[in-house]
Amino acid sequence: MTSERAGRAVMITGASTGIGRACALRLDEAGARVFAGVRNESDGDALKRNASDALTPVLIDVTLPETIASARDTVAEAISDAGLAGLVNNAGVFYGGPLEFAPLDELRQLFEVNFFGVVSVTQAFLPLLRKAKGRLVNMSSVSGLFAFPFLGPYASSKHALEALTDSWRLELRPWGIKVSLVEPGEVDTPIFDKGLETLRKARETYPAEARELYGPVFGLAEQQERRMIPPERVAKVVEHAIFARNPKRRYLVGPDARLITIFGKIPLALREWLIARQFPKYGEA
């Protein structure tokens, strides 16, 4: 435990599994007073079994304003006038597939969590951050930097989050609130598997035309060899963003994340040609 972390309060959304859980446990071990946002009590109990008594599970659904307000009030009462050292907007969902047939309800739900959820939670907790000149950390993705085909829904939500975060960084500067984006590559978390399951269910509702046009690419994601990093690597970066004297504006995490930035510097026509070569021909195209 280090003195600059001891007892300082941090709120983390999406802490039931994956990156959020890793962040909660790492910051708890470092001595911070962690408020871990979970969707249900059983997730909170599971987290507590691996943490200190200082970690407090907080029930929150980032798409439901009443749960956001309740979580904010719980944290505010617990920390009194001390303020919040950090808010980590980690809750997120994944959805992909051909945009031509993407169900609008799925797209709206994706943005409700990945974008509007961040707005709602941040608006609610900003007064607590302002008290302590705390840090705002938003969990983006390499998909927020570059949109590959068939990842359009997810990438769009993360592109929006990048713009939101850049604006907030400047707007909150007068109060000394520093704002960071974390942009991981592929991380070994349940979000990808959950997204694939959602896509599989959506495919069952696609018309025959969709299967004729895009059939060969539907199973591409399941067939890819994945080189995922552990969520603990992302948690280490989040700790730096909250407690370092000079946090970075952006944190790229993982070898594929850094590769994407290099790839993004290639002329657009060449880049698109290289990407197209990785996909099978489909439909009548």
pLDDT digits (tens, 9 = 90+) for 134-151: 999 999 998 888 888 888
pLDDT of residue 141: 93
Q: What is the rounded CA–CA span in Å between residue 216 and residue 170?
A: 45
Residues 261-267 have a mean pLDDT of 84
Higher-pLDDT residue of 56, 274:
56
Q: What is the mean pLDDT of the chain?
A: 89
Q: Does the pLDDT of residue 84 top 70, yes or no?
A: yes
Please state the domain extents for the chain.
Answer: 9-276
270 sits in which H/E element: helix 268-276
Residues 102-119 have a mean pLDDT of 95
Could you say which of 154, 206, 214, 251 is catalytic?
154
Q: Does the pLDDT of residue 73 top 60, yes or no?
A: yes
Closest C-alpha to 179, from 261, 253, 251: 251
Task: Fill in the amino acid letter for 97.
Answer: G
Closest C-alpha to 193, from 242, 226, 238, 230: 226
pLDDT band at 279 (very low <50, low <70, confident <90, very high): confident
The token pair that represents 99 in the structure block: 């945009």
Closest C-alpha to 34, from 49, 52, 14, 60: 52
pLDDT of residue 26: 97
Q: What is the rounded CA–CA span in Å between residue 201 and residue 205?
A: 7
Q: What's the pTM value of the predicted model, to 2 decimals?
A: 0.90
Q: What is the rounded CA–CA span in Å between residue 203 and residue 98?
A: 10
Q: Find the radius of gyration of the CA atoms of the chain.
A: 20
pLDDT of residue 263: 81
Higher-pLDDT residue of 190, 108:
108
Higher-pLDDT residue of 202, 206:
206
Where is mean pLDDT largest: 109-118, 147-156, 258-267?
109-118
pLDDT of residue 271: 85
pLDDT of residue 226: 62
Tell me, yes or no, if 154 is annotated catalytic. yes
Q: Does the pLDDT of residue 98 top 70, yes or no?
A: yes
pLDDT of residue 126: 98
pLDDT of residue 211: 78
Q: Where are the beta strands (DSSP E) in the chain?
A: 9-12, 33-38, 56-59, 86-89, 135-139, 178-184, 250-253
Q: What is the rounded CA–CA span in Å between residue 204 and residue 207?
A: 8
Tell me, which fold does domain 9-276 have in CATH?
Rossmann fold (3.40.50)
pLDDT band at 41 (very low <50, low <70, confident <90, very high): very high
Closest C-alpha to 95, from 151, 141, 142, 147: 151
Centre a 10 Å sphere on the Cβ of residue 22 and count the other Cβ atoms it contains. 23
Q: Can you tell me which residue has the tokens 């949109």?
A: 147
Residue 190 contacts residue 94 (beta carbons within 8 Å): no
pLDDT band at 31 (very low <50, low <70, confident <90, very high): very high
Residues 42-70 have a mean pLDDT of 97
Q: Does the pLDDT of residue 116 top 70, yes or no?
A: yes
What is the end-to-end Cα distance of the chain in Å, rounded?
59
In 57-207, where does DSSP find H-type helix? 65-79, 104-111, 117-132, 152-171, 190-205
Residues 228-232 have a mean pLDDT of 89
